[in-house]
Amino acid sequence: MKRAPDIKSVLEADVQRLTEALMTGRISLPDGRGLADVGLTEADIYYELELRKQLGKPVRSTETVAGLIEPYLEWVRLHQAEKTYRDKKKMLFAHLLGFFGNMYPDFIDRSLVDAYKQKRIAEIQLVGRYEGKRAVNLEVLCLQALIKWAHEHGLCSEPPVRTRQLPYRRPLPQPLTYAETRAFIDACEPFYRALMLCLYHAGLRKHEAFKLMDTDLYFEAGLVRVAGKGDRERYVPMSAMLKDALLSVVRPGLVFPSPRTGRVLVDVRRAIERAKKKSGLTRRIYPHLLRHSFATHLLEAGNDIRSIQVLMGHQEITTTQIYTQVAMPHLKHVIASLEAGCHDVVTAGYKEGVTGPRNPLILKAGDESRTHDLLITNKSVKKKRA
């Protein structure tokens, strides 16, 4: 008499077969038809795989991921920043819903999250997107935030699983040189020149500058009030050049309204391309690059990193420390000055008395230093004697 197969062994074999098919891309039905022929997706197969693994376990979640998305986004809209809401909505509907939508949060384990990572990395490499691993890490964090919210509101029994992030190192920014910065900003039309100076002379983020109101400008005190990330407010000093540029364009309400709609400005790519063409620059320029240049040039000018952190609105100083790597050639030059002595010219070979990107430090008798920011009047500044 033939012995009946053990149901556990059969399920384990099915799980192994499905897993191998998914990992090797050989996903097809016994009759040779593919998933698309019967209206199935890889997400359906993953879901069936997980259900088989969880056979016998009760469904403790009251809603699938798809059913949780809308109430979760309403909560995000109410409690988090507008940009956070937009980013999470995009990640949930564009990527996470298609994979996890039919799953119950309690069934989403580490293996499913790892499978999602593999799938997304393959998709990103296929279309040549540049975000790569960082984008996938953000999507997984978004999923974990949704499940955490559901757990705290009694909509599922288990908290989100913890997974390791994909290894990612953010590339170092390549700031503009001083000559490039001046050429680019001088080539901008008055309206966009004031906007770009907000990014370079005050270190504002793009969306911070776009939302500036006339009530945020304190011309008598020389300050700009900035509503930063997480609704954290900071005040940034206003340079004379920035003040003049803002006075020439300021009006009641938004400082930089869209010329087409009158509402909040959305895109400045065309204005940037016009300025690039007029200035003769060919390298890639985008708004945040001016903020990178702001921090790098301040550091090269000898300003302490704590002051730069405050001006940039960074919550953690580790975020600001990236600019110490960008300015490393200058910092090495500072160290070299120790060997030369504080009363010697340590930049032999460059034009005496003038600083620049390749000549950031000159120490001479008299303790006199001069800025190499071409957008600031080149006045000698007497340093206080100890």
Whichever domain contains 292, its CATH number is: 1.10.443.10
Q: Which of 50-59, 108-117, 227-236 has the highest mean pLDDT?
A: 108-117
Whether residue 229 lies in the annotated active site: yes
Whether residue 314 lies in the annotated active site: yes
- What number of other Cβ atoms are within 10 A of residue 268's Cβ? 21
State the pLDDT at residue 41. Answer: 55
Q: Does residue 257 sit in the same domain as residue 289?
A: yes
Rounded-to-integer distance, Cα 104 and Cα 134, Å:
26
Name residues whose C-beta falls within 8 Å of residue 77's C-beta, 6 or more positions apart in sequence: 85
| Final residue belonging to a domain, choices 288, 312, 336 | 312
Task: Please count the structural domains in the chain.
Answer: 3
Whether residue 330 lies in the annotated active site: no
Confidence band, pLDDT 50/70/90 cuts, at residue 336: low
Whether residue 291 lies in the annotated active site: yes
Q: Which of 119, 120, 193, 205 is catalytic?
A: 205
Contact, 92 vs 146, CB < 8 A? yes
Is the pLDDT at 196 greater than 80? The verdict is yes
Rounded-to-integer distance, Cα 283 and Cα 273, Å:
11
Q: How far, in whole angstroms, is CA 172 from its chain's centroid?
A: 13
Contact, 365 vs 371, CB < 8 A? no
CA angle 81, 82, 88 (to 5 degrees): 90
Q: Which of 193, 276, 292, 314 is catalytic?
A: 314
Q: Does residue 14 sit in the same domain as residue 147?
A: yes
State the pLDDT at residue 326. Answer: 67
pLDDT tens for residues 343-371?
443 333 333 333 344 443 333 333 333 33
Q: Does residue 190 sit in the same domain as residue 140?
A: no
State the pLDDT at residue 327. Answer: 65
How confident is the model over 304-322, as a mean pLDDT? Answer: 79
Q: Does residue 347 sit in the same domain as residue 294?
A: no
Domain that includes residue 193, residue range? 178-312
Q: Does residue 304 sit in the same domain as residue 367?
A: no
State the pLDDT at residue 180. Answer: 93
State the pLDDT at residue 378. Answer: 38
**Locate tokens 């240049």: which residue?**
293
| Final residue belonging to a domain, choices 248, 278, 312 | 312
Q: Which of 134, 207, 225, 229 is catalytic?
A: 229
- Residue 22 covered by a domain: yes
How confident is the model over 199-203, as a mean pLDDT? Answer: 91
Rounded-to-integer distance, Cα 343 and Cα 338, Å:
10
Q: Does residue 62 sit in the same domain as residue 146?
A: yes
Rounded-to-integer distance, Cα 208 and Cα 221, Å:
20
Is the pLDDT at 257 greater than 70? The verdict is yes
- Residue 322 covered by a domain: no
State the pLDDT at residue 149. Answer: 95
Mean pLDDT for the chain? 76
- Residue 250 covered by a domain: yes
Is the pLDDT at 142 greater than 60? The verdict is yes
Q: Which of 192, 323, 330, 372 is catalytic?
A: 323
Q: Does residue 192 sit in the same domain as residue 285?
A: yes
Q: Does residue 135 sit in the same domain as residue 97?
A: yes
Q: Does residue 13 sit in the same domain as residue 142?
A: yes
